Structure 1
Amino acid sequence: MIPSERWEGSVARQENPVDPLAGPLQSFAYDLRKVRIEAGNPTYRALARTAGYSPTTLSEAAAGLRKPSLDVVLAYVGACGGDVEAWRRRWEQVDRDLAEPGADPEADPGAVAGAEPPAPARRRWPLVVGVAVTVIVAVAAVVFVLRDPAPKAEANGCPALPPHRTFTAVAYGKGAPVRAAATLTDPVLMTVPSGCTLGFTGFCVGQRVRDATGGTPDVRWFVLPDGKVVPSAVVHGNPPAALTPVTCAKGRPSPDGIALVLATDTAKPGGLKATASGHNLEIVGFAVRRSTGAWRPLGLTEKFTATLTVNPGEQIVVAAAACFGGDGPTGLIDARRFPGAAQSATLSTAEYATASQAACAYP
């Protein structure tokens, strides 16, 4: 059994143990948790930034109480760097397993974790007497699994994953519209169905699009091997952090500078207004570091302003970062201390990176 694990939140919580022999749902959840452990056991909050789903939704997907949606599973696995196509097939297999006589569609939340499950709920392996026969059955099972072909692209409407890809993302909602250029005015050439995994070679900067899940702005357009593009805002997944933009049809230049100004907001007591400006800016994220020392996001905006409240006598540092979108810092950042006469805050390289991540954080 995978032991209970802490995960983040306002109050530390414990995941209930799951028994891989207690039926299809618990077996599925057990292996899904293993994917996260093999990825370094990131917190659900950290996974949420990449997956595009809340920590609670991701945690429930691995709870073993009910079957999660395919979109959530693929986003969970993709955020962990797992094999999304293998998990698509695994998700489909759960339905077949649940259809077997005696398999419960949902686990009993009141059942004691780790208790001996009724015999029909266990995986059904024929009882084989004799070591030689057991080995033959085991080998046959392995060969069957290895020869199980991946579903063809036309079987579910999903395009085949390209062999040479830099990263993947999963279409969701109404699907992912594919265009020849990085602008919404360009005609849609095709729409990839929801739940399909797409392989991309890079990303470019294009027209700003509002994220379909978080509602935040995003200028990243993911580039397919044939040069066509899909807006980042309609898929779950992010490019590697070190990846830089490439050129694409009707693309836009990346930001190349940012400056922050802080001013007292006379409209309310203790009010402070932060305003950013710069060349080729599209999206700005703001963050604040108070006396606790932790950077806290103030939000992503295309209006380049943010307001906050400063307590009497409090010393704070405010940062403004140029962002491509949620969890997409560009590396351009300016920080100022308050109170002070427009005093610039000199931060270490690590602090600048942390501030940028907080400022550009996906909500």
Structure 2
Amino acid sequence: MKTALINWTMTAKSLRILLTLTYMKFILIIFCLFTYTHSYSQITIVDQNNSPIALVEICNSKQNILAKSNGKGMVKWHKIENQSLSDSIHFNHISYDSQVILRKNIKWNDTIVLNEVNIDLSEVLVSAKKIPKKQQVIDACYRSYQTNDDSLIYYTDGLVTYLTERRKINYQKQLKANRAYQNTAYNANIETKKVMVSMKLARTPPPLTEYLPTTFFKRKDLILSQGSNESRDILTKDSIKIGTVKRDSNLVTFTIDNIFKCKKRSFAKFEAIQLKCDVTLVFKVNEAIDVLSIDNFDHLVYSKIYRKYDYKHEKDKAYTAIENVEEIFVETVHLTNGIDNDSFSKSFGFPSKNNYSSSFWEACACEYYQLPPFTAFELAR
């Protein structure tokens, strides 16, 4: 009897130990399961087609980045779990509308769906990059003549193209058609053949670059008087009037006179007194343009220079009155690239021969052309 009681007592004790161990094992298993689940629980972020979205930024309300979704659109739960239940969790991706959810409404195994953004792209016009044009081309008609004591001695006119680089204005010319006339009868009547008082001033005229308003006003230290925009005087720093600026419709005209009045020059056995040097430049401009800012011939319409000299050789008893006119009547001005300069010349002398094959004055679209002011024009045809 005593032995049975002892055996029963030992059995009950073993049973208690066994139950305790079993309970602890169960608790351990539950704990391990909870820990595993807690550690590896994830939320999934997908699009409307249930496809995972990678690289979604998950931020709190302070825009601190908590995590980014992996290639399967998953984010570990513990990255979000410790945020305040009242905090806002932001799910951001450049290609999807942002989603904002309160932390208390997010569970450890939730699936978050983001809506794709519809991006309307503005219409874009694709074109080739414009290359700045570096050359200026002036197509024009020209005329130049000289009179000695009111007799026409030299005359030339024709069609010409001027070419220059934009950065460094230095014109070259290409004659398309021209006429050249010399009054040989006048020269034959000179008493002393060795004394040629008929110096040759007529030529194919170059553009008057030295008289471009910006350059000329600065070089001569000139002033444009106050007054109406229609007419203003050009003054020296000593308030001497040497020209005018006039506006007419969409044109502006610079007229400059008496720049070199009575300037005497001597060379070899010759003496020349320059009595006049009058310049006219006409530009097509709009009212908004400051006339003194004109520093190129992009809008040139017409140019003229008139020179008057008293000229003689030391053996001559009297001076010969020489007058010279050079005019350019502009047809078109445009910019270009890549013109071959080989067909152009830097020489602007009197043409050696005629190259006249058409009535170019009749075809010329030069707005300012007028017949020369002498009846001897017929001799030059």
Greater relative contact order, per chain length (Cα 8 Å cut-off, separation 6+): 2
Larger strand percent: 2
> Who wins on radius of gyration, i.e. which is larger?
2
Larger helix percent: 1
TM-score by length of 1: 0.22
TM-score by length of 2: 0.22
